[in-house]
Amino acid sequence: MNNSNASNGDSKQEDSHSTKAIPDYKVERLDFPDNQVKKMVQSVVFGIFRFSATLNGFALLIVVYFMVSNGLSAITWEFLTQPPTDAMTKGGILPCIVGTFCLSLGAILIAFPIGVASAIYLNEYARPGRTIRIIRLGINNLAGVPSVVFGLFGLAFFVVWMKMGVSILAGALTLAAMSLPVIIGSTEEALRAVPDTYREASLGIGATKWQTIYRVVLPAALPGILTGGILGISRAAGETAPIMFTAAVFYTPYLPSSPFDEIMALPYHIYVLATAGTEIEATRHLQYGTAIVLIALVLGMNLAAIIYRAKLRKKMS
């Protein structure tokens, strides 16, 4: 047993006679100095990998911990159900909650169908060639467009040119444009993960292309597509820059009654209170409180979707 190839062959032969030979073979393999060094390097590198993974987990916990420990006292029933009072130094954040809900729901209603359909075309219909190259390049570049540039675009196009004014509609459209690449990307990833044998089996028993997509590919890819939806909606709900010029205002005492109303939104409210308010220190607890509500809303949605997806996966397998 001088090298691992030989020992591999030996152990297989011995395996058929008696299983006792296997521990011997393992010990001998470990005795090679080369193997030992490799093993050590490997465990050190894997340790570093494990550390970075753990660090990422802790990053979230640290942020959430500081928000909750500082802001929990601000969360009361009044805080959640009343509008701000006394020049936003007291009172609640109801208009902001409603505003963020309207914006993210509007954005996802617009972006999700378009995103999923785009991904279906790219992954199921399109043949390799120049057209698909250009479309992909477009999506990659759209994903790279900075959020504040979406804000400028929304201002110039939806607010000014289409005369929507600063409104929910303009904000939702801007957010939809922004979350489109996220949805397309993860839907495509999900579709790609569906084995070709599924498609071949379906086409083989006489289904058309569309029937195959609708009845076979989409159900199999659903958990992954939902991931895309989650990523899209959470981006839309948490973004501030795109709605700064298109939908959100400092203060409005009214709840929205039409898509053309301007609104308050949670992320923008945090920014306003933390940087532009007249009483920045005095409203600290309101800032923490608003941050908790935003985190709870966004992370809650995500958590629900993650759990749902896990259940779906179990059901499929």
User: Which range, of 13-21, 81-89, 147-155, 196-204, touches another protein by CB under 8 A?
Assistant: 147-155
Neighbours of 184 (CB within 10 A): 29
* Closest to 265 (Cα-Cα) out of 286, 248, 290, 246: 248
For 25, 240, 285, 286, the CA distances from 280, given in Å and listed in that order, are 70, 19, 10, 10
**Does 149 help bind another protein (rule: CB under 8 A)?**
yes
Q: How far is the CB of 164 from another protein (least distance, A)?
A: 14
Q: What is the 3-state secondary structure (H, E, C) of 13-77?
A: HHHHHCCCHHHHHHHHHHHCHHHHHHHHHHHHHHHHHHHHHHHHHHHHHHHHHHHHHHHHHHCCH
Q: In the range 72-111, which residues lie near another protein by CB under 8 A?
A: none
Contacts of 123 (CB under 8 A, 6+ apart): 188, 191, 192
**Does 16 help bind another protein (rule: CB under 8 A)?**
no
Q: How far is the CB of 189 from another protein (least distance, A)?
A: 5
Q: In the range 264-293, which residues lie near another protein by CB under 8 A?
A: 267-268, 270-271, 274-275, 284, 287, 291
**Does 25 help bind another protein (rule: CB under 8 A)?**
no
**Does 117 help bind another protein (rule: CB under 8 A)?**
yes
* Closest to 178 (Cα-Cα) out of 241, 248, 267: 241
Task: Name the token pair of 174.
Answer: 């801007």
Q: Parallel, antiparallel, or unpaired for β 90-91 and 84-85?
A: antiparallel
Q: Name which of 79 and 271 has its Cβ closer to another protein.
A: 271
Encoded one letter per residue, x for contact with another protein by CB under 8 A and - for no contact, window 225-264 reads --x--xx--x--xxxxx--xx-------------------
Q: Tell me the longest C-alpha to C-alpha distance in the chain.
A: 87
**Does 184 help bind another protein (rule: CB under 8 A)?**
yes
Q: List the one residue from 6, 21, 22, 60 that touches another protein (CB under 8 A).
A: 60
Total of chain residues touching another protein, rule CB under 8 A: 96
**Does 26 help bind another protein (rule: CB under 8 A)?**
no
**Does 41 help bind another protein (rule: CB under 8 A)?**
yes
Task: Name the token pair of 16.
Answer: 């058929």
- CA–CA separation, 99 vs 72, rounded Å? 22
Q: In the range 193-222, which residues lie near another protein by CB under 8 A?
A: 193, 208-210
**Does 308 help bind another protein (rule: CB under 8 A)?**
no
Q: How far is the CB of 51 from another protein (least distance, A)?
A: 8
Q: How far is the CB of 237 from another protein (least distance, A)?
A: 7
Helix axes 94-120, 284-316, angle to 10 degrees: 30
**Does 162 help bind another protein (rule: CB under 8 A)?**
no
Please state the separation of Cα 59 from the chain's center in Å. 17
Q: How far is the CB of 313 from another protein (least distance, A)?
A: 11
**Does 66 help bind another protein (rule: CB under 8 A)?**
yes
Q: List the one residue from 30, 78, 109, 192 that touches another protein (CB under 8 A).
A: 192
Q: List the one residue from 6, 109, 145, 282 that touches another protein (CB under 8 A).
A: 145
Q: List the one residue from 12, 36, 140, 311 that touches another protein (CB under 8 A).
A: 140
CB-based burial, 189-225: b 16+ in 10 Å, e otherwise:
bbbeebeeeebeebeeeebeeeebbeebbbebbebbb
